[in-house]
Amino acid sequence: MARYLKLKSDLEHVSVEDFRLCKAMQKWYLDIGDMLCYLNDVLTPHGFNEIVRDDFSGLRQMLTELK
């Protein structure tokens, strides 16, 4: 309860625009994991046919990085 009251009192000194920015950053922080998973699903080939169609580029990249 004490922590909540401290945070509440600190927020009273923040402008409306700064508060909106803080909320936007909080939303970004909460959503970034889902966004990265979505990008991975879209950009990374899945399934054997997709991997073959991509000419095994992901596998080749991993092998190149091991050298």
Residue at token pair 């401290």: 6
Amino acid 35: pLDDT: 93
pLDDT in tens, 14-67: 888 888 888 888 899 999 999 999 888 877 767 888 878 888 888 888 888 887
Q: Burial letters for 3-28: b for 16+ Cβ neighbours within 10 Å, e otherwise?
A: eeeeeeeeeeeeeeeeeeeeeeeeee
Please give the sequence-ordered ranges of beta strands (E in DSSP) within the chain, or none if there are none.
Answer: none
Does this model's pTM top 0.85? no
Query: Which residues have CB under 8 Å from 60's CB, separation 6+?
Result: none
| Alpha carbons 35 and 33: distance in angstroms, whole number | 5
User: Looking at residue 31, what is its pLDDT?
Assistant: 94
Domain limits, the chain: 15-66
